[in-house]
Amino acid sequence: MEIHEHIIELPKKVYVGNGILSKLRDYLFQLSVSEPVLVVTGPNVRKIVIDEIAKGLNELGKMEFVEVMDSSVDEVNRVEEKAKELNPRFVLGIGGGKTIDVAKYVAYKLNVNFISIPTAPSHDGITSSFASIKGLGKPVSVKAKMPYAIIADINVLSSAPRRLINAGIGDTIGKLVAVRDWKLASKLTGEYYGDYTASLALLSAKHALSCTKIIHRDLKYSVSLLTEALISSGVAMGMAGSTRPASGSEHLFAHAVDLLQPNAALHGELVGIGSIIMAYIHGINWREIRNALDRIGAPTTAKQLGIPNDVVIKALTIAHTIRPERYTILGDRGLTWSSAEKVARDTGVIE
């Protein structure tokens, strides 16, 4: 008899609140974190945050800090070397999305517990078991360590640059499309579709839409909503065992642009624009998405990002090849140049 197994990975504990980093020592104690500890930080983590964390860590015993500059495979290798010398029992990732990605991936390679302490709510990688690493030969996320715990201090997250917060909103709004793609694939290819998981991802997107309406009035509340949305998106991926509920054609477009013009924009910005276009193709309310992004000052056109029209069109024509096993509205053959140009124009993404 064939056994079907479905493994759900979830964080053991999630701490969310204002100013909670000052309680880090208590949390680490509750989580039975023991030395040696490798702390991975990024270049933009403010000193005040590092000081707070160092205070919380100083009774732990043996630990080392390593700062990463980007989420490249070279940085992964460098951190991995350092980790092998220290032989840590825990890896703490403290920083933005890229820092967390490197920490999480190294923890996965060494099979060490990983704790995520994000300082920017820029994408749902801060809460998921997948990482985006440049130079591995594929533009999509790879399996990494599910965070053993997430410690999300809203004071810290809401003082991140607004552009990063907006990117997190864009990444999360993308779930509206991702879930559509997933449902479509299940109908056409018989792929497993988890209703509960899909609802969770959709709920994240709805919260992100709400964020766009309140962020100018109440930044902190909006960021706390966004953070919870990012967490439930990470949980949805853990439940599905893949990024499927959180990543569809809108992400394929984002990855394609990134491939054609690396570092032109933030991941969540490209996902936001991809969501406008793919919502249009799905025949759902793409204007609502565009207006929501507009409202918060997130980019809705290629021009705003300095991306030429032909890069957008080319990206749309190759998006379906990025991850061929992931069926989306783009189908097996993708868009022709002229249809890609038309959808990009109709949605105002290109002029």
What is the enclosing helix (H) or strand (E) of 42? Answer: none
> Cβ of residue 206: shortest distance to Zn ion, in angstroms?
17
| Residue 247 CB, nearest approach to Zn ion (Å) | 6
Q: Which is nearer to Zn ion, 112 or 265 (CB)?
A: 265
Give, rounded to a whole angstrom, the gap between the first and last alpha carbons of the chain. Answer: 58
Q: Please identify, using beta-carbon distances, which residue of 94 and 177 lies nearer to Zn ion.
A: 177
Structure tokens at 351: 């002029």
Bridge partners, 150 (sequence order): 14, 116
Q: How far is CA 201 from CA 175, 178, 244, 330, in A?
A: 6, 9, 10, 21
User: Residue 48 CB, nearest distance to Zn ion (Å)?
Assistant: 28
Rounded to the nearest whole angstrom, what is the least distance from the CB of residue 246 to Zn ion in the complex? 6
Give the residue closest to Zn ion by C-beta: 171
**Closest to 121 in 3D by CA, of 232, 250, 243:** 232
* CB 233, min distance to Zn ion, A: 9
Residues 120-159 that bind Zn ion (CB under 5 A): 123
Does position 228 interact with Zn ion (CB under 5 A)? The reply is no
Q: Which helix (H) or strand (E) holds 284?
A: none
Fill in the per-residue mask, 201 to 220: x = in contact with Zn ion (CB under 5 A), - = not in contact.
--------------------
Beta carbon nearer to Zn ion, 123 or 244:
123
By C-beta, is 56 or 139 nearer to Zn ion?
139
Tell whether the torsion through CA atoms of 298, 303, 305 and 308 is positive or negative: positive
Which one of 116-124, 195-203, 222-230, 276-284 is the stretch in contact with Zn ion (CB under 5 A)?
116-124
Give the nearest distance from C-beta 129 to Zn ion in angstroms: 14
Cβ atoms of residues 264 and 319 within 8 Å: no
Instruction: Report whether 149 contacts 188 (CB < 8 A).
Output: no
The reply on whether position 171 binds Zn ion by CB under 5 A is yes
According to DSSP H, which parts of 241-336 are helical? 249-260, 267-282, 286-295, 302-305, 309-322
Which of the stretches 170-178, 191-199, 258-266, 277-285 binds Zn ion when contact is defined by CB under 5 A? 170-178
Q: What residues make contact with Zn ion under the rule CB under 5 A?
A: 123, 171
